[in-house]
Amino acid sequence: MNKTFGLFFTAMSLFLATANARAEEPIEPIPLVKEINLAQVELGKKLFFDPRLSISGFISCNSCHNLSMGGSDNLKTSIGHKWQQGPINSPTVLNSSMNIAQFWDGRAADLQEQAGGPIANPGEMASSHTLAIDVLQSIPQYVTEFKQTFDSDKITIDMVTLAIAEFEKTLVTPNSKFDQWLLGDSDALSPKALAGYQLFKETGCADCHNGPAAGGASFEKMGVVTPYTTENQAQGLSGVTGKDSDRFNFKVPTLRNVELTYPYFHDGEAATLTEAVDIMVRLQIGEKFSDEQNAEIVAFLKSLTGDQPSFTLPILPPSTDKTPRPKPFD
Amino acid sequence: MNKTFGLFFTAMSLFLATANARAEEPIEPIPLVKEINLAQVELGKKLFFDPRLSISGFISCNSCHNLSMGGSDNLKTSIGHKWQQGPINSPTVLNSSMNIAQFWDGRAADLQEQAGGPIANPGEMASSHTLAIDVLQSIPQYVTEFKQTFDSDKITIDMVTLAIAEFEKTLVTPNSKFDQWLLGDSDALSPKALAGYQLFKETGCADCHNGPAAGGASFEKMGVVTPYTTENQAQGLSGVTGKDSDRFNFKVPTLRNVELTYPYFHDGEAATLTEAVDIMVRLQIGEKFSDEQNAEIVAFLKSLTGDQPSFTLPILPPSTDKTPRPKPFD
């Protein structure tokens, strides 16, 4: 009996250690993807990589949300049709399904609404929803795949954006060192990263950067204590609400994989994590970290890099004689 | 004894049918890749997808040789740094290891020599070999991988181009319907495709489009019977040799996967296979095919689409604080 009880006790401890470990922390482990429409995912993956959704035939979703590079383009602001300079830093698509809304100013309610934006934006892919559908509808392999996925002979933009959004829901990055630690492996974090996390909580960073994505759950003013100065024209939420008080209210960016998603802030003006931490602390809480404190925070931030999406590069179905041709130079 | 002999005879027949089938044909099956340096391949795959080899941080080898789209960009002429219009149609990288030389005018002897060109070409990736090396040398994960691959602490441009070339050697596309037929499966080709292949041989197309790549083995004049007129400035081999007689001598493009590598010719002016066949027949042999004959040739050409390269999208190592930043808008 003693032995049985001992085994039971050990098993319960392990269960509690893994299932409930550190349930009190402000950052939660990334939930695994459990309910997904695989047909939509596979179709959406092709569409995500298909530059024929742009008028030039050159720019795809993956151009600015490059899945080889943390789901971002690692540029201050993005490059659009005819090399137009984009107005804002391209946010990572990784874990974006956890965002309260999409875009820095939250003007799209969800991933599906977001996906339609760049296709028709003259400064980005510069196509139109009508043209994008004409292109897809001219390609028999797409027609068949849409039919099998949506039970419809006619492709609509809602199907296109739904499939892209469903693919994007798979782009979660579990198993970071920090998540391993959250889930009970006390050795997963270095002492430096652990010290950084304590400091992160104590100084209030976790007031905004919390939840499974360590951000993305609220809109907050950039420059609570010290105003932020930038030449970038983006105004944040006020551009959506029209309220002056919403100026510089931005969706809090996720800190997941932040090691990969440089440069930082909506204007991309912070080139390194060290710089970003320094500016944030000054703007938001009016403090100045020592070099050692800053390095501890950075060590913690780097522990948030998770397993990157792993999949076979999609092969796109070829255009046909009827497919509208790209017009890159018109 | 009879039974044993019978089995032996059957086995020999099968052997002959598969190993020696149709050995007399001008087009040969694509040889499988047998000797390869896997370390270089894996490193070269990352480099092929890494836009940090361009000054903008936006253009990678895969931008114009898109492995989701037949190893080409499906544009008339390519888009380079700051959206410059390229001078020539981007040739497919698929099966390019079989080419007698690289580029349309053959100015690079092999894949390694080719790979260094676009990186430093002001109209393409617009970087320099020095800057590209500085970028790679600043990234510890690359430094480690180069050290493990080349046993050197110092990265050189020769290592970069060698790795890219080794990866490109893996980009062969075996198992097309036509190769299945060549290797003994008489049912692999439709009667229409087979008729097209007979016509292809009878009219002399195979005089230039032959060997395993159905092209790439020689330089030939475009416009043997009827001169070709185009606004494109490319002159072909004469740009390399300086000889007027070499004007419009181009490397014969491979017909492998030609269904995927539209538009056609060095100027990309033929939008469809039907158009390309019609023009070629007129220019090179001074004939005009009936619609039915043209369709037969096109059916044969589509039988040359092979298995596309299949691999996991590479994840690129992140830049560090010391990495030179991309300059897309300077």
Looking at chain A, list the stretches that DSSP marks H as alpha helix, in order from N- to C-terminal side.
2-19, 38-49, 61-64, 111-120, 129-137, 140-150, 157-169, 177-182, 191-202, 238-241, 273-285, 291-302
3-state SS class at B38: helix
Residue B261 pLDDT: 98
Residue A7 pLDDT: 58
Q: Which candidate from B52, B68, B321 shows the least CB-CB separation from A314?
A: B68
Q: Is the pLDDT of residue A254 over 90?
A: yes
Question: Catalytic: which of A124, A145, A166, A296?
Answer: A124
Contact B318 A82 (CB under 8 A): no
Residue B7 pLDDT: 58
Residue B22 pLDDT: 85
A–B CB contacts, 8 A cutoff, strictly below: 99
Residue B153 pLDDT: 95
Give the model confidence (pLDDT) of A92-130 as tens digits. 999 999 999 999 999 999 999 999 999 999 999 999 999
Instruction: Report d(CA B120, CA B130) in Å as an integer.
Output: 9
Q: Do the bridges between strand B219-221 and strand A249-251 make them parallel or antiparallel, or are there none, so unpaired? A: unpaired
Q: Which candidate from B58, B69, B316 shows the least CB-CB separation from A68?
A: B316
Closest residue by Cα to residue A213 from A243, A241, A255? A255
* pTM across the whole model: 0.94
Contacts of A260 in chain B (CB under 8 A): 318
What's the mean pLDDT in A250-255? 97
Residue A37 pLDDT: 98
Contact B316 A75 (CB under 8 A): no
Q: Is the pLDDT of residue B1 over 50?
A: no
Contact A326 B260 (CB under 8 A): no
Q: Which CATH class is domain A177-302?
A: mainly alpha
Give the model confidence (pLDDT) of B207-223 as tens digits. 999 999 999 999 999 99
Residue B253 pLDDT: 98
Q: Which helix H or strand E contains B274, and what residues bound it?
A: helix B273-280
CB A171 within 8 A of CB A96: yes
Q: Is the pLDDT of residue A4 over 70?
A: no
C-alpha distances out from residue A100 to A30, A96, A115, Å? 15, 9, 15
Radius of gyration of chain B (CA): 22
Q: Which helix H or strand E contains B44, and what residues bound it?
A: helix B38-49
Radius of gyration of chain A (CA): 22
Residue extents of the structural domains in chain B: 38-169, 177-302
Give the model confidence (pLDDT) of A69-95 as tens digits. 999 999 999 999 999 999 999 999 999
Q: A5 vs chain B: nearest CA distance in angstroms?
A: 48
Q: Is the pLDDT of residue B26 over 70?
A: yes
Give the model confidence (pLDDT) of A217-246 as tens digits. 999 999 999 999 999 999 999 988 999 999
Q: Is the pLDDT of residue A286 over 90?
A: yes
C-alpha distances out from residue A205 to A199, A220, A246, A305, Å? 9, 12, 20, 18
Tokens of B215: 């092209």
Q: Residue B10 — very low, low, confident or very high, per pLDDT cuts 50/70/90?
A: low
What's the mean pLDDT in B41-53? 98
Task: Report the percentage of chain A scoring pLDDT > 90.
Answer: 92
- Residue A159: count of CB within 10 angstroms of its CB: 20
Instruction: Report d(CA A58, CA A124) in Å as an integer.
Output: 11
Q: Residue A1 — very low, low, confident or very high, per pLDDT cuts 50/70/90?
A: very low
Q: Is the pLDDT of residue B132 over 60?
A: yes
What mean pLDDT is reported for chain A? 94
A242 sits in the region (left: phi over 0; alpha: psi -120 to 50; else beta) called left
* A124 is an active site residue: yes
ipTM of the complex: 0.93
Tokens of B63: 């931008």
Instruction: Report d(CA B4, CA B190) in Å as an integer.
Output: 36
Domain A38-169 matches domain A177-302 at the CATH topology level: yes
Q: Which residues pair with B249 in a beta bridge?
A: B221, B236
Q: Is the pLDDT of residue B323 over 80?
A: yes
3-state SS class at B257: coil
Instruction: Report d(CA A308, CA A259) in Å as an integer.
Output: 12
Q: B47 vs chain A: nearest CA distance in angstroms?
A: 11
CATH number 1.10.760.10 is the correct assignment for the domain at A38-169? yes
Residue type, A300: F
- Residue B37: count of CB within 10 angstroms of its CB: 15
Q: Is the pLDDT of residue A14 over 80?
A: no
Give the model confidence (pLDDT) of B262-310 as tens digits. 999 999 999 999 999 999 999 999 999 999 999 999 999 999 999 999 9
Q: Residue B21 — very low, low, confident or very high, per pLDDT cuts 50/70/90?
A: confident
Q: Angle at Cα B268 formed by Cα B263 and Cα B274, nearest 5°?
A: 50
Q: Is the pLDDT of residue B2 over 90?
A: no
Residue B129 pLDDT: 98
CB A104 within 8 A of CB A219: no
Q: Is the pLDDT of residue A251 over 90?
A: yes
